[in-house]
Amino acid sequence: MPYTEDTETSIYYETYGDGDELIVLVPGLGLTIESWQPVTELLAGRFRVVVLDPRGSGKSERSGTNVYSGETVARDVRNVMDAVGEGSCHIVGVSMGGMIAQDFMLRYPSRVKSAILFSTSARPDEWFTRLFETRRELIQRVGFYEHFKLFQMFIFSPFSYRDYPERVRAVQASVARNPPDESGYLRQIDYCLNHDVLDDLSKLSLRSLVVSGSGDTLTPPYLGEDIAKVLPESKYVEVEGASHGLVFERPGQVASVIDSFVSTGKYNFDFEG
C-alpha cells in the first residue's frame, strides 16, 4: 500500500487516472479517501487524481501525541506530491480538508496551480468555536459513535435526508467501516479550532474557487464568503439549498465544477442546471 516516508507521520494515499493535470483531493474531519470516491471516479477519466487520508484518519498514522498544525498538515500534502513525483497540483479540499488546502497554499504556493475549497472556514467565529468545543466535550464524555449521531445532523440538512437518502447512508456506512481514532479525531478538532489564516490568504496570488451551501450549519456560508473576499483571484459560489455535505449530496455536479475550473480556470457551471 502506498504511504509517504516521513520520520514523524506516514500518510496513506491512492492514485487514479493518468491525465496531464494532477488533482489532489483532501477529505474532511474524521473522513477518509472513501468519502471522495464518487467524485474521484468521475475525474479519473480526464485527470491524474490523488486522494489521501489526513493524519488521524483511515490508514494514515493515528498514534502519537503530536499536535496537528498548519505546518504539519501542509507537509503531509507536500510529501504525498513528492511520493507521486509531481511538482504542482490543483488542490481541492472539503471542510477540514479545505483548511488543510489553505495551509498548503500558504506554505507551498509555487506548487499550487489552483485551489477549490468546499464548505470550509479560514477563521473560527463564535458559532464555529462553540460547536467544535461542544463536539470535543461530547466525544470525551460519550465517545465517537454517540457524538456522530448528533454530528451527522450538521453535515446534512432535513432536505439531505429527503432528497439524497442513499448518499446520507453511504457516508454513515463509510464512517462505520473506517471510524477515526478518538485521540486523532480530537487533535483534528483542535486543528480546526486553531486554524486562523484569513489575513494571510490575502498575500496569495493563485486562482481559487470557494463553494458553500446556503444550508450549511457547520461552516455557515459567510465563512466561505469571507475567504473569497480576501483571496485576490477568487470566485465565490453559494449553492442554494445545499448542506455542509454538498460534496456527498451532489458528486456529479461537484466533479463537473472541478473539471471545468481545472480545465478552463473559470467557473462556468450551474449547480442548478
Q: Indicate whether 140 belongs to any domain.
A: yes
Q: Indicate whether 270 belongs to any domain.
A: no
What DSSP assignment string belongs to 38-91? HHHHHHTTTSEEEEEPPTTSTTS---S-PPP-HHHHHHHHHHHHHHTT-S-EEE
Q: What is the mean pLDDT of residues 34-63?
A: 93
CA-nearest of 69, 80, 84, 77 to 109 is 77
Q: Indicate whether 7 belongs to any domain.
A: no
Q: What is the mean pLDDT of residues 208-215?
A: 96
The more confident residue out of 46 and 145 is 46
For the cut 60, the answer to whether the pLDDT of residue 162 exceeds it is: yes
Least confident residue range of 172-186, 193-207, 212-226:
172-186
The more confident residue out of 6 and 231 is 231
Q: According to the model, what pLDDT value does residue 273 have?
A: 45
Measured distance CA(2)–CA(159) in Å, rounded: 38
Helices (H), the chain: 37-43, 70-83, 96-107, 126-142, 144-155, 158-163, 165-177, 182-194, 198-201, 221-230, 246-249, 251-264
> Rounded to the nearest 10 degrees, how much is the dihedral formed by the CA atoms of 66, 134, 170, 84?
-20
Number of domains, the chain: 1
Q: Indicate whether 31 belongs to any domain.
A: yes
Q: Indicate whether 37 belongs to any domain.
A: yes
Q: What is the SS3 assignment for 207?
A: strand
The more confident residue out of 273 and 227 is 227
Residue 270 DSSP label: -
Q: What is the SS3 assignment for 218?
A: coil
- Find out whether 235 and 263 touch, Cβ atoms under 8 Å: no
Q: Indicate whether 44 belongs to any domain.
A: yes
CA-nearest of 41, 110, 44 to 74 is 110
Boundaries of domain holding 22: 13-264
Question: What confidence tier does 230 reach under pLDDT thresholds 50, 70, 90?
Answer: very high
Q: Which residue has the cell 487533535?
A: 187
Residue 176 DSSP label: H
Q: Indicate whether 8 belongs to any domain.
A: no
Q: According to the model, what pLDDT value does residue 149 have?
A: 87
CATH number at residue 218: 3.40.50.1820
